[in-house]
Structure 1
Amino acid sequence: MSSPPHTGQPFGLRERKKARTRRTIQEHAMRLFAEQGYDATTIEQIAEAAEVSPSTFFRYFPTKEDVVIQDDYDPMIAEAYLRQPASLSPLEAVRRAMSEVFAEIFAEDEQTILRRIQLIWSIPALRSRQVEGRMAGMAMLTAVTAERTGRSADDLEVRVFAGAVVGAWIVAVERWIELEGATPLAALMDEVLVFLGRGMPLQP
């Protein structure tokens, strides 16, 4: 299956620096969680390992749960989605936007993301927070799809579109975990979006 084209447009320096700091904190947090366990690891230990102050930690992550749950990807996907050519369908625009974000960020960060998602799925409180986050992601996608199409964010079809994409995203992530990262998340996400675009045929 061919990948959607990458426009090559870089993200801003400020966004890159913020994402790099966030990634550094998360990498050290995930290492400490693996070594000591999630419950035994403190915010002070994470900040010290990442060579930032606790106050800097809290600028990026309000709680220890958030160091596992939060990322910058939804806003980056929204930005990339809105700048796709108007001639593209919403689904193809989402597909290309996700390809851009995966190419820019996930290539550097995929193993850390995998460890984060595995931890989230193993701890009920984190998994619950992740579901809340996907609901917020669906609201974001609804809003930007309404903006892109000139329709209302209350439009049922706009909301169904956003729900279908987010549902497909969740399934792709679950399959990624099942495969223990053997297939890149970008490839799985592209596969499920292509399936949506084909009308989800389910012939025997």
Structure 2
Amino acid sequence: MPEQHSTLRARRRAETQRLIQAHAVRLFTERGYDATAVTEVAEAAGVSPMTVYRHFPTKEDLVLAGAEARSVAERIAASPGDQPLVRRIGRALVGAATELTETGDGRFLLARLRLMITTPALRAKHLDNQYALQQAIVTALGDGEDSAFRTRAATGACLAALHTALVRWAEEDGRTPLPGLISEAFAAAFGDQAP
């Protein structure tokens, strides 16, 4: 029975987070990120400001928080270790993008991405998130100390290719499938090593 309560609690928490984030992205898009207060987001979502901060510690997290890093790290950890690093990372990124765009709301993802591209405070937070994603990937690859520099460099280059694909996807208003753009960016950057 306690496990059932835990699952229900986790599901309610995720639903509350989705609701708050959806209202935040809508308001930020309509009114502007800097012109919208967290209290307005709370009011639109029908929750208290404290509830918003419990789920999203910073205003930036309202746009950028997601489970993408965990999904990518899990995919990399499950990938065959005998493949080149760039291919393992690329396949994980393409797989995560496929999952996000097929099971999620593509318009919502585009709105989040556009906010990130156009809002200086969000670009700074995005850089923090990129660093956290890089750390998650390096940890998932599990390479030893001797190859840590090589792994970090390869991961950083892969994330730069991903960023290029994401910006292109936003510029094209999502007309081209994101997984294809990521593959195209990897092919341009890495040639034969691409996924």
What is the TM-score with the length of structure 2 in the denominator? 0.78
Gaps of 5+ in 1: 1-11
Q: CA RMSD in A?
A: 2.8
Secondary structure of 1:40's counterpart equals coil
- Tell me: CA distance 1:35–1:153, structure 2 relative to 1, closer, same or farther (3 Å): farther
Distance (whole Å) between structure 2 residues aligned to residue 197 and residue 164 of structure 1: 13
The answer as to whether partners of 1:143 and 1:153 remain within 8 angstroms in 2 is no
Distance (whole Å) between structure 1 residues aligned to residue 171 and residue 34 of structure 2: 24
Distance (whole Å) between structure 2 residues aligned to residue 166 and residue 16 of structure 1: 31
For 2:66, the equivalent position in structure 1 comes to 71
Deviation at 1:161, TM superposition (A): 1.0
Deviation at 1:80, TM superposition (A): 1.9
- Tell me: CA distance 1:17–1:157, structure 2 relative to 1, closer, same or farther (3 Å): farther
* 1:9-28 correspondence runs (5 A): 20-28=15-23
Specify which of 161, 166, 172 is matched with residue 165 of structure 2: 172
For 1:127, the equivalent position in structure 2 comes to 123
Distance (whole Å) between structure 1 residues aligned to residue 67 and residue 112 of structure 2: 14
Which one has the bigger helix percentage? 2
Which amino acid is the alignment partner of residue 198 of structure 1?
D
Secondary structure of 2:174's counterpart equals coil
* 1:41-190 correspondence runs (5 A): 41-107=36-102, 108-145=104-141, 147=142, 150-152=143-145, 155-190=148-183
The answer as to whether partners of 1:19 and 1:72 remain within 8 angstroms in 2 is no
Q: Deviations over 1:68-103 (max 9, x none)?
A: 222221122111211223444433332332343233
The answer as to whether partners of 2:165 and 2:185 remain within 8 angstroms in 1 is yes
- Tell me: CA distance 1:142–1:28, structure 2 relative to 1, closer, same or farther (3 Å): same
- Tell me: CA distance 1:193–1:46, structure 2 relative to 1, closer, same or farther (3 Å): same
Secondary structure of 1:181's counterpart equals coil
Gaps of 5+ in 2: 1-6
Q: Deviations over 1:78-133 (max 9, x none)?
A: 11211223444433332332343233333323211211221222122221222232
Deviation at 1:193, TM superposition (A): 2.7
- Tell me: CA distance 1:190–1:90, structure 2 relative to 1, closer, same or farther (3 Å): same
For 2:3, the equivalent position in structure 1 comes to none
- Tell me: CA distance 1:82–1:19, structure 2 relative to 1, closer, same or farther (3 Å): farther
- Tell me: CA distance 1:154–1:84, structure 2 relative to 1, closer, same or farther (3 Å): closer
Distance (whole Å) between structure 1 residues aligned to residue 8 and residue 130 of structure 2: 27
Distance (whole Å) between structure 2 residues aligned to residue 16 and residue 100 of structure 1: 24
Higher relative contact order (CA 8 A, sep 6+): 2
- Tell me: CA distance 1:140–1:45, structure 2 relative to 1, closer, same or farther (3 Å): same
